[in-house]
Structure 1
Amino acid sequence: MEHVLVTGGAGFIGSHFVKRLLHAPDVATVTVLDALTYAGHIENLGTAFLSEKLSFVQGNILDTGLVDDLVREATAVVHFAAESHVDRSFFEAGAFIATNVHGTQTLLDAALRHGVERFVHVSTDEVYGPMPEGCATEESPLRPSVPYAASKAASDLVALSYHQTFGVPVCVTRSSNNYGPYQHPEKIIPLFITRLLKGEQATLHGRGEHVRNWLHVEDNCAGIEAVLREGTPGEVYNLGGGTDLTSRDLTGHLLNVCGADWDSVTYIPDRQANDIRYSMDWSKAAAQLGYRPERNFEEGLAETADWYRRNADRWAPMMRNPNAARPARPLPTSPAGR
């Protein structure tokens, strides 16, 4: 695993993974390809640039020539680059399909041409759709509810098909909700933290009953590295095992770490197609790869809040950037009222 290409390596999860990989003695070079859209920031890599192993290329995974040049030099590819925010996908579905599906295909075509030894495609538990009860295994059907999740499910299937048809050594990881430093403040944990730190209201959808599994970004990156090193080509690995919380319970934790109370919370109508619960069985990754989440949620959340408290210069400009959030507007509905 000498030369690793990491797409989306200036994003939230990708930048944490790059820093982890740079410490690996058997990794000679790490090349980051990132378009530096609103969610990717060169500053996320920070001290990683002190390493002579790191190279950075600004570019798009839809650029066939650029991708081909970079994959030609890679031993392995770890593919994070994606449009990822659910709300944005309601209004920009075409961009999600282009980046997440066609971009993935562009990388896979290059991996096939140049015979990469490992290809890890990073995905999400949202591809399984709502799980009112029970847990999704890697064999569960994919039932995405929103354009973002559908684009990721499609990219998963394309990636796996390249293994089945052409023998590209693809593994897919599907993680639960990540949290930690450097995350864009459109996501719920940094959104609530930054609003509370500014003395503004946090807005809770519906009655706050939606259940998500919260996994520290470092635990997810440890799982992805395990898949990169030991995963069986053609296999999917669920990476969960953090902390299951309703959105109301999560809000309570956030109020606590920010020193605020429930007067700082406003309930708003639920978002359309807001799945009530996600849940995954991650026993396969545990049994086959020794994957074990280690970060305590309360400690990790406190550290995360402290990072945002100490780094307002990083997130405050994003809050004013017109590309940082979509203005609220009614969603299109089907004749059935969906």
Structure 2
Amino acid sequence: MTMNSERILVTGADGFIGSHLTEALVREGHQVRAFVFYNSFHQWGWLDDVSPEIRDEIEVYSGDIRDYQTVREAMRGMETVYHLAALISIPYSYQAPESYLDTNVKGTFQALQAAREHSVSRFIHTSTSEVYGTAQFVPIHERHPLHPQSPYAASKSGADQIALSYFHTYQLPVTIVRPFNTYGPRQSARAVIPAIITQIASGSGNIRLGDLTPTRDFNYIKDTVSGFIAAGQSKQTIGETVNIGSNFEISVGDTAKLIAEVMNAQIEIKQDPQRIRPSSSEVHRLWADNSKLKQLTGWVPAYGEIEGLKRGLAETAEWFTNPANLQRYKQGLYQI
């Protein structure tokens, strides 16, 4: 245990980013309690796949972020909270918008109430670049107008505002981290980079995608996690919203070509109508200004620019092409 060891709760620890963040915090010597979504199979999501020496150091608490009693008990004795529990699939938010309000808005409210009751020393809330909508100017800094274009983005914007209100009203030490498009091992194949990699890895030369023209600021999972930790450890970020981004923009189509190059594959891209968002809901351009987080914490992305993206894609492809990992994904099925 390190001299600066903290008692930390990570909600959504069973998910993609949450599991990587939990691992990193354990490796830093913190006492981590992982809040995972209860299920009768006693499964801990992606935490089931972390190395045994890390998993043995994690205290797992199963519950539901929408239930105040379980959230309050999970937070008991904690100093810092990283709140990542959320519904995140944009396409599914078109079908079940109320569930996004219930989980993302009400769930955040429950977590904030519990944090206030237990007087936690830090509360790091997870936002998303989707709250900005299509960029009105680039790169996008934190003062960019919010323009959520999907029920998912609207629910996250609402959660952000509730979190900030707890800082202003109750002086709860809240920080909002706003990651741009994260990718890496363990990500759902509904996301564009795993969608491309898994199709290539399964032997398909015909890659089915949606709109190829939107641009994104892709961030490798290690950079996203280091950004979370930097924001959570700096007093300068209290009461602030900070972007986590690479400050590098690339289109979906060019990303597919880059992945094919990294994987030494020949591909032909086919447009799949079911992967296309409603026209007014598509976010056409995202490009992060990451200077605020750099200035406040000294954080810098290790996988920035085109060369960093190539390295991150290569590491991601290596993980997905491992047969034991690839078999976790249902090939040929588009899951929203």
**1:307 matches 2:309:** no
224, 231, 244: which one pairs with 1:227? 231
Matched AA of 1:154: G
Matches within 5 A, 1:184-195: 184-195=188-199
Distance change (3 Å), C-alpha of 1:159 and 1:189: same
Alignment-derived partner of residue 183 in structure 2: 179
Distance 2:332 2:264 in 1: 27
Matches within 5 A, 1:204-219: 204-206=209-211, 208-219=212-223
Q: What SS does structure 1 have at the residue aligned with 2:249? A: strand
Matched AA of 2:134: P
1:282 Cα offset (Å) = 1.3
Distance 1:260 1:8 in 2: 35
Matched AA of 1:185: A
Distance change (3 Å), C-alpha of 1:57 and 1:278: same
Alignment-derived partner of residue 36 in structure 2: 34
Alignment-derived partner of residue 164 in structure 1: 168
Alignment-derived partner of residue 253 in structure 1: 258
1:301 Cα offset (Å) = 0.4
**1:121 matches 2:129:** no
Distance change (3 Å), C-alpha of 1:171 and 1:45: farther
**1:266 matches 2:277:** no
Distance change (3 Å), C-alpha of 1:321 and 1:262: closer
Contact preservation (8 Å) 1:192, 1:254 = yes
TM-score w.r.t. length of structure 1: 0.88
Distance change (3 Å), C-alpha of 1:31 and 1:107: same
1:92 Cα offset (Å) = 1.2
Distance 1:192 1:321 in 2: 11
Contact preservation (8 Å) 2:35, 2:61 = yes
Please report the RMSD computed on the Cα atoms of aligned residues, expressed in angstroms. 2.2
Alignment-derived partner of residue 325 in structure 1: 335
1:260 Cα offset (Å) = 2.3
1:107 Cα offset (Å) = 0.4
79, 82, 95: which one pairs with 1:75? 79
TM-score w.r.t. length of structure 2: 0.89
140, 150, 156: which one pairs with 1:146? 150
Q: What SS does structure 1 have at the residue aligned with 2:283? A: coil
Q: What SS does structure 2 have at the residue aligned with 1:21? A: helix
**1:238 matches 2:246:** no
Contact preservation (8 Å) 2:27, 2:54 = no
Alignment-derived partner of residue 335 in structure 1: none
**1:291 matches 2:296:** no
Matched AA of 2:200: L
Alignment-derived partner of residue 159 in structure 2: 155
Q: What SS does structure 2 have at the residue aligned with 1:57? A: strand
1:44 Cα offset (Å) = 5.3
Distance 2:44 2:288 in 1: 27
Distance 2:198 2:67 in 1: 35
- After the TM superposition, which parts of structure 1 deviate over 3 Å for at least 4 consecutive aligned residues? 42-45, 48-53, 312-315
Q: What SS does structure 1 have at the residue aligned with 2:51? A: helix
Contact preservation (8 Å) 1:6, 1:79 = yes
The alignment-based identity, stated in percent, is: 31
When structure 1 is superposed on structure 2, of 76-85 and 134-143 the one drifting more is: 134-143
Matched AA of 1:325: Q
Distance change (3 Å), C-alpha of 1:247 and 1:40: farther
Contact preservation (8 Å) 1:8, 1:40 = no
91, 96, 111: which one pairs with 1:92? 96
Q: What SS does structure 1 have at the residue aligned with 2:140? A: coil
1:128 Cα offset (Å) = 0.8
CA-to-partner distance for each residue in 1:37-75, whole Å, 9 max, x for gaps?
8x9724455116546531112221112111111112211
**1:111 matches 2:119:** no
Distance 1:50 1:23 in 2: 8
CA-to-partner distance for each residue in 1:69-111, whole Å, 9 max, x for gaps?
1112211100111111111111011111111100000000000
CA-to-partner distance for each residue in 1:155-180, whole Å, 9 max, x for gaps?
00010101111111110000110111
1:244 Cα offset (Å) = 1.5
Q: What SS does structure 2 have at the residue aligned with 1:183? A: coil
Q: What SS does structure 2 have at the residue aligned with 1:266? A: strand
Matched AA of 1:138: E
Alignment-derived partner of residue 59 in structure 1: 63
Unaligned stretches of 5+ in structure 2? Answer: none
CA-to-partner distance for each residue in 1:204-247, whole Å, 9 max, x for gaps?
323x2110001111111111101111043211011112531101
1:261 Cα offset (Å) = 1.8
